[in-house]
Structure 1
Amino acid sequence: MSALSELLAFQRETEALAQVMGRLGWDQETVMPRGAAEQRGEEMAALESVLHARRTDPRIGDWLAAAEAGTEAEAAQLRLIARSYDKARRVPSRLAAELARVTSVSQGKWAAARAADDLAAFLPVLSEVVALRREEAAALAEGGDLYDALLDGYEPEAQAADIAALFDRMRPRLVALRASLAEAPPAPVLTGHFPKAQQLALSHEIAAAFGYDFARGRIDEAVHPFSSGSFNDVRITTRVDEGEPLGCLYSTIHEVGHAGYEQTIAQGYGLSVLGQGVSMGVHESQSRIYENQLGRSPAFCHWLYGRMVDRFGALSVNGPEEFARAVNRVASGYIRTEADEVHYNLHIMLRFDLERALVAGDLTVNDLEAAWNDRFLADFGVAVDRPRNGVLQDVHWPVGLFGYFPTYSLGNVYAGCLHAAMRDALPGLDDQLSRGDVAPALGWLGERLQRHGGLRKPRATIEHATGAEIGEEPLLDYLEAKFGALYGL
């Protein structure tokens, strides 16, 4: 075998083992018995030790030095494997295993603390997570910025200073739009009782409409909706509130966006470094464009209104136009995953600033709740009433995902660029969406972006798909036009 063939065969086994570890995480958040949390932590640590040993195997360096790429895909694989090898060698095996163990245990303690609104019970393990991630960041950064080292794991080559500048450019137009909408007559609220079984049945129907392949996936329930897996096993979760069905339905569409990306990647890339989304920002561009520009469009709401009436009977809103306004209602709510498109990025900006301060050591875990509540009141004009509506609402920090949050807003910006290009390419899109036909939009995304997996770097992936440079203007223009029309501004 050539050096390239040996390297890719070795990498395929590593990717397969990583998928097994991901399945353990899915199991923990869906069906694992609560009493198994400590044991699961040990299992995750053991498997992470095996994976870390493979990712730092000295033979990888030898293969990389000898391998020669004959195609664009092979060159991309060598680039990504070399990047992973370099990063993995900087992190001690002990630290990698301990991070896997502690974050697994932390996830369970967070879920219990969130259910009980008991932040004090969770803070000790969160302090452990922060300390371990700062130690990892120091190993990765080698004297550079700690937060940038963590951010690079989710959005390669991104830097916090650039993201902060992006947020500074976005904030004035978002705040101005929010202020204008606050002065307009409020949108209606969808009320009533929506039985769990019917919500889940409709979520399955919508997932299928958005191209989710149930032969290679499944929908389960979790405290915090997520997508897990790649290649031919891509699973999603949702959550159900019988008084508020839109959370379930749009969480499903969001996660199908992630899953659809993974399921559409070229089969030849499966179980390779190319066989997964290239970054979390690009991944979020897919979940956000599915959920918002497509799923919350007035055109698609017209179709969804009919399906809601079929499932639940007469609704508290009168007709598809009023339903679309209810779906896109703008309000200063506590919960990020339920936030409207106008407020969503403000939620991310809050988390971005707080986690940067935690990683830098400028904010302690014990002061985190007060900092969160003060910032939320300043940004949203509402006082946080309890921890589960504030600092305990997200799973990200409990499982150590520091540096992940800004990729949501990057995803929104990328989605804005993609949506503008898609509209130019598909002038009849609204007519199709009003019939529940998402296939043309999915086909465009699949061909232009999804099937390529990790072939290109993140920014190049978006620019290749759109044929234009990345900027925040398409997103902000879309928001102003959409909500201006819905609210009659």
Structure 2
Amino acid sequence: MTAFTDLMAFQRDTEALSQIAGRLGWDQETVMPDGAAEQRGEEMAAIEGVLHSRRTDPRVGDWLEKAEAPDAAGARSLALIRRAYGRNAAVPARLASEIARVTSVAQGIWAEARAKNDVAHFLPTLDKVVELMREKGQALAAAGFGGGNAYDALVDDYEPEATAEGLAAMFDRMRPRLVALREAVLGAANPPAPLRGHFAEARQLGLARDLATAFGYDWNRGRLDLAVHPFSSGSGNDARITTRVVESDPFNCFYSTIHEVGHATYELGIDQSHLFTPLGQGVSMGVHESQSRIYENQLGRSRAFTGWLHGQMHAVFGDHGIASPDEFYRTVNRVGSGFIRTEADEVHYNLHIMMRFDLERALFGDRLEVADLEEAWNVRFVKDFGVSVDKPAHGMLQDVHWSVGLFGYFPTYSLGNVYAGCLHQALRADIPDLDDALAKGDGRPATEWLRAKVQRFGGLYKPAEVIERACGFAPSEAPLLDYLEGKFRAIYGL
């Protein structure tokens, strides 16, 4: 017990320092002055060096050998620390610090390149990031992670025990039904009307706050800020959200906000006894995405909730051109071959992820070089979406992920959609009158169910186990595909 107590006390400080590093990242993406980018890179490298030293401290190995868990939560904590210790020990301290330094600076370079639609400005930096992440993947693979496969070793960082082969098989099962649904929807005779008009930033942000409140976001432990690419940051009692505003497209702001509320509510919903322990954060990015996607789509884009939002839009913006709640529901769920993943409708979204997943596998399988990435992206986009990319900001420069080294992260978005489909089926079975609350702009019954079934456990159970315990059946893509087909065939009269 002494070894266990000493280990958990040491881990508590490591977790606290990790939260500080996360806060530096939040600051960089929201309020940090542009001129501080180089300095912030050095700061991030320094704190990553401290964290890496703690995570590979020989005392951790000694404590792990001697520690005896007092209960199931303690046993799970030991398993997670042991896994993290092995992964961190496999990555040299020099490499960990260099990745932190380069990716911190790379974020600013990516943002500049995106604003200027200048891929050439970003390529040298991206080439360095990919080189470093290849080295990390190889180091982890050499230590036995990812079954010895470098890309799988990176995927394993975000979705433990997932493999590229398994994800590819899931995508192969999903793609035919998604493509068939897309073709049927795009060929429909009576598509919904788009939303048109000017929607002032201040009013959008005011309504975005109302949307966050509607789903039970705790403003005493959170805040809303603007960012180039919306994200959620933090855990425990400090989980912040960001959004972005396009004054011609308020749905961009509203649904980005709801999406990030899903992430933040997960972190805020974790049992307080897990704070500053390995259990005190979401168990995987797939489970995390299940929360953000079910909030954004199955709940936020439902007929009941959009009926309430239609009234709120009238109250805030006046006449916005969509007269009835039914037509507004169709407009919110309008399907089109757009360029931007974060703005993609539910039918197209997973196709965006599949494309990025295949490009990543090619980059890490020595079948694609960074210099050829833009051409590969544009060729694949025409093939998958039937339109040509008009500018880099709508193509390979649209996502922040690669600039910060998040290779292996993208497939968890679709895995999260699959998990969300399962959770939604179980949620509706348990709360058959959920639409009554959603129609009043009250998403709290759904949040309470998700907190009880998923969120409060944090890292206590493995990802697939969390979903199976919540739903009563093993995760499968079938509920998601059935939901999509039922919803969009009805909307488009197919």
TM-score interval (norm. to shorter): over 0.9
Q: Give the Cα–Cα distance (whole angstroms) in 2 for the partners of residues 3 and 268 of structure 1.
A: 20
Correspondence list, 1:143-154, <5 A: 144-154=148-158
- Residues 1:165 and 2:169 are matched in the alignment: yes
Q: Secondary structure at the match of 2:230?
A: coil
- Residues 1:455 and 2:460 are matched in the alignment: yes
Q: Which amino acid aligns with 1:389?
A: H
2:279 is matched with which residue: 253, 271, 274? 274
- Residues 1:256 and 2:261 are matched in the alignment: yes
**Per-residue deviation, residues 129-161 of structure 1 (Å, max 9, x unmatched):** 000000000000117111100000000000000
Q: Give the Cα–Cα distance (whole angstroms) in 2 for the partners of residues 149 and 76 of structure 1.
A: 21
1:367 is matched with which residue: 372, 379, 382? 372
Aligned to 1:347: 352
Q: Give the Cα–Cα distance (whole angstroms) in 1 for the partners of residues 71 and 194 of structure 2.
A: 54
TM-score of the aligned structures, taking structure 1 as reference length: 0.99
Aligned to 2:492: 487
Q: Secondary structure at the match of 1:229?
A: strand
Q: Which amino acid aligns with 1:68?
A: E
Correspondence list, 1:154-303, <5 A: 154-184=158-188, 185-303=190-308
Q: Secondary structure at the match of 1:235?
A: strand
Q: CA deviation at 1:352?
A: 0.1
Q: Secondary structure at the match of 1:152?
A: helix
Deviates more, 1:136-145 or 1:77-86: 136-145
Q: CA deviation at 1:440?
A: 1.3
Q: CA deviation at 1:37?
A: 0.8
Q: Give the Cα–Cα distance (whole angstroms) in 1 for the partners of residues 436 and 241 of structure 2.
A: 29
Q: Give the Cα–Cα distance (whole angstroms) in 1 for the partners of residues 365 and 108 of structure 2.
A: 26
Q: Which amino acid aligns with 2:371?
A: N
2:319 is matched with which residue: 314, 318, 324? 314
Q: CA deviation at 1:71?
A: 1.1
Q: CA deviation at 1:411?
A: 0.1
Q: CA deviation at 1:45?
A: 0.4
Q: Give the Cα–Cα distance (whole angstroms) in 1 for the partners of residues 490 and 179 of structure 2.
A: 18
Q: Give the Cα–Cα distance (whole angstroms) in 2 for the partners of residues 62 and 488 of structure 1.
A: 64
Q: Which amino acid aligns with 1:180?
A: A
Q: CA deviation at 1:342?
A: 0.2
Q: Secondary structure at the match of 2:252?
A: helix
- Residues 1:119 and 2:119 are matched in the alignment: yes
Q: Which amino acid aligns with 2:112?
A: A
Q: Give the Cα–Cα distance (whole angstroms) in 2 for the partners of residues 440 and 196 of structure 1.
A: 30
Aligned to 1:411: 416
Q: CA deviation at 1:436?
A: 1.1
**Per-residue deviation, residues 199-224 of structure 1 (Å, max 9, x unmatched):** 00000011011111111110000000
Q: Which amino acid aligns with 1:462?
A: I
**Per-residue deviation, residues 166-211 of structure 1 (Å, max 9, x unmatched):** 0000000000000110111211101111110000000001101111
Q: Give the Cα–Cα distance (whole angstroms) in 2 for the partners of residues 20 and 176 of structure 1.
A: 47
Q: Which amino acid aligns with 1:132?
A: L
Q: Give the Cα–Cα distance (whole angstroms) in 2 for the partners of residues 486 and 385 of structure 1.
A: 29
**Per-residue deviation, residues 80-110 of structure 1 (Å, max 9, x unmatched):** 0000001000000000000000000100000
Q: Which runs of 4+ in 1 moved over 6 A?
A: none
Q: Give the Cα–Cα distance (whole angstroms) in 2 for the partners of residues 346 and 85 of structure 1.
A: 35
Q: Which amino acid aligns with 2:107?
A: Q
Q: Secondary structure at the match of 2:290?
A: helix
Aligned to 1:6: 6
Aligned to 2:16: 16
Q: CA deviation at 1:309?
A: 0.6
Q: Which amino acid aligns with 1:320?
A: P
1:325 is matched with which residue: 298, 306, 330? 330
Q: CA deviation at 1:238?
A: 0.2
Q: Which amino acid aligns with 1:82?
A: R
Aligned to 1:59: 59
Q: CA deviation at 1:432?
A: 1.6
Q: Secondary structure at the match of 1:363?
A: coil
1:422 is matched with which residue: 418, 423, 427? 427
Give the total of aligned pairs: 489
Q: Secondary structure at the match of 1:237?
A: strand
Q: Which amino acid aligns with 2:77?
A: Q
Aligned to 1:402: 407
Correspondence list, 1:41-80, <5 A: 41-80=41-80
Q: Which amino acid aligns with 2:322?
A: V
